[in-house]
Amino acid sequence: MRFDDWILALHVLSAFSLVAGLVVFWALIVVGRRIDTPGDTLALSPVAKVGSATVGVGMVGTIVFGVWLALSVGNYDIWDGWIIAAIVLWFIGSGLGRQTGKEFLAAPMKAVELQSAGQTGPNEELLALNRTSRGVLFQALTSLVVLLILIDMIWKPGA
């Protein structure tokens, strides 16, 4: 394997890490819809941290190794339409992902607040935060953008 083949392998592994993180968050969204107590909400936090870490590794790895490949591989250039499209989509996905994180962070923050106030029972407001439809919308849009990047990477329109 040449050096660029290793970089390509790392680029693809980063993409897998990114999608794996999105899948973790989808699973947590589904499970979270039934959760209305601070303890159960906070119990999901370690799994959410794994999701955040895999998304983070995936986002950084895809852009760093992707740009490296665009500059290093002879047949491609960084200003190729499909590569520019991928970079633009990466930035859009990054923004949407940050927004998703903000929406879903409200529930554990509320759970901590409730726990420190000694309220450990079911709470309607917490349930509503765990069921945030804005969060689901942002997560769906982030997933759609990642799917579009994958399609762009496979079809390479204009290459």
Partner 1 sequence: MSVLAAVRPDSWNFPLLVHVLGATVLVGGLVTCASALAFAKGDARLLRLGYWSLVAISLPGYIVMRVGAQWIYSKEHWEDVPDKFVPSWINIGFLVADIGGLLLLVTLIVGGIGVRKLRNGGGGGLLKATLVLSVVLLAAYVVAVWAMAGKPN
Binding site for partner 1 (CB under 8 A): 1-2, 4-6, 8-9, 11-13, 15-16, 19-24, 27, 31, 40, 43-44, 46-47, 50-51, 54, 69, 73-76, 147, 150-151, 154-156, 159
Q: Which is nearer to partner 1, 31 or 84 (CB)?
A: 31
Q: How far is the CB of 43 from partner 1 (least distance, A)?
A: 5
CA angle at residue 104 from 103 to 107, to 5 degrees?
A: 110
Q: How far is the CB of 135 from partner 1 (least distance, A)?
A: 18
Q: How far is the CB of 159 from partner 1 (least distance, A)?
A: 5
Q: Report which DSSP code applies to 158.
A: T
Distance CA 108, CA 87 (A): 32
Q: Report which DSSP code applies to 37.
A: S
Q: How far is the CB of 150 from partner 1 (least distance, A)?
A: 7
Q: Which is nearer to partner 1, 80 or 103 (CB)?
A: 80
Distance CA 16, CA 18 (A): 5
Q: What is the CA radius of gyration of the chain?
A: 19
Q: Please say whether the dihedral angle defined by the alpha carbons of residues 48, 49, 50 and 53, taken in this order, is positive or negative.
A: positive
Q: Residue 153: CB partners within 8 Å, gap ≥ 6?
A: 15, 82, 86
Q: Which is nearer to partner 1, 43 or 60 (CB)?
A: 43
Q: Which is nearer to partner 1, 21 or 97 (CB)?
A: 21
